[in-house]
């Protein structure tokens, strides 16, 4: 069992600094508002002309834990509704027409806000990454610093009742995340955040924490994909057993 006083590792800071790293060989996207409009992908540039991107604020370290901005952006509710359409229909299915119907605005209003359909999809997925970062930070703050706490953290981030949705429509969103440089950088940053949160629950040795954290995250993702194929037991049972088995094999439980 690890002591609760174990400080969070510096790599958490580095994880979220990834959100401001160069996209390919271009200028950094995040930072000051003036910097945000320098050499971003076309969709991000168009989106930036219509909506302030402050809802993508990066978390900061405070008292050893990751803290996210408490103030919601005015467009959060709109983006949350668009995310529901995106999950149901996939990126190819989200249009200004059905998006407008979901949020209770006219299609022309969404065009004015986002400029292009690609920019609307990008903004919606950035909102989804922000929510996932917030959920991970909350779990990292509240759950025990133990292997059992690491398992509970992962089970909470992907509830079993959402396993079917995540294994089907969720993969369509993942494809979009991987194709878009800005979204891909956001996903990489979250991966480092997650590996840090897991690693500090698996070992007191800083040099081992990241390695074990990444391994556990990989087992979690792999177990979810294989469950989608086999369906030989409930998702809750399959995922938890896979994580427990890995913890025993790695010698941390």
The pLDDT tens digits for 130-144 are 999 999 999 999 999
The number of folded domains in the chain is 1
Residue 146 inside a domain? The answer is yes
Residue 5 inside a domain? The answer is no
- CA-nearest of 165, 180, 166 to 116 is 180
Q: Is the pTM of this model over 0.75?
A: no
How many whole angstroms separate alpha carbon 55 and alpha carbon 141?
Answer: 22
How many whole angstroms separate alpha carbon 8 and alpha carbon 97?
Answer: 45
> Residue range 82-110: average pLDDT?
90
- pLDDT of 244 above 60: yes
- Phi, psi dihedral angles at 31 (to 5 degrees): 125, -135
Q: Which residue has the tokens 């950088």?
A: 185
Q: Where are the alpha helices (DSSP H) in 66-180?
A: 76-89, 96-103, 107-114, 117-142, 147-157, 163-167, 169-179
How many whole angstroms separate alpha carbon 114 and alpha carbon 135?
Answer: 26
More confident residue, 166 or 102: 102
Residue 6 inside a domain? The answer is no
More confident residue, 180 or 69: 180
Residue 171 inside a domain? The answer is yes
End-to-end Cα, the chain, rounded Å: 9
Residue 139 structural domain? 11-250
pLDDT at residue 42 in the model? 42
Residue 27 inside a domain? The answer is yes
CATH of the domain at 127: 1.10.357.10
pLDDT at residue 153 in the model? 97
Q: Are 56 and 79 a contacting pair, CB within 8 Å? A: no
pLDDT at residue 163 in the model? 85
């Amino acid at each position: 069992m690890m002591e609760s006083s174990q400080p969070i590792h510096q790599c958490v800071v580095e994880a979220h600094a990834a959100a401001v790293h160069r996209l390919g060989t271009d200028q950094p996207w995040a930072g000051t508002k003036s910097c945000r409009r320098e050499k971003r992908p076309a969709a991000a540039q168009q989106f930036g002309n219509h909506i302030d991107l402050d809802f993508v604020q990066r978390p900061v370290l405070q008292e050893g834990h990751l803290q996210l901005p408490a103030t919601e952006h005015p467009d959060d509710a709109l983006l949350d509704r668009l995310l529901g359409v995106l999950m149901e229909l996939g990126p190819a299915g989200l249009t200004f027409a059905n998006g407008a119907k979901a949020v209770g605005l006219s299609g022309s209003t969404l065009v004015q806000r986002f400029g292009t359909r690609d920019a609307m999809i990008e903004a919606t997925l950035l909102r989804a990454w922000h929510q996932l970062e917030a959920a991970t930070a909350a779990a990292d703050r509240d759950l025990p610093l133990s292997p059992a706490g690491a398992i509970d953290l992962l089970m909470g981030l992907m509830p079993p009742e959402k396993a079917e949705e995540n294994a089907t429509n969720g993969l369509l969103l993942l494809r979009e995340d991987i194709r878009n440089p800005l979204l891909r950088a956001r996903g990489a940053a979250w991966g480092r955040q997650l590996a840090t949160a897991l690693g500090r629950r698996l070992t007191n040795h800083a040099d081992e924490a990241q390695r074990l954290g990444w391994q556990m995250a990989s087992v979690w993702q792999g177990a979810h994909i294989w469950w989608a194929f086999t369906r030989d037991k409930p998702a809750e049972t399959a995922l938890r057993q896979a994580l427990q088995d890995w913890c025993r094999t790695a010698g941390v439980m």
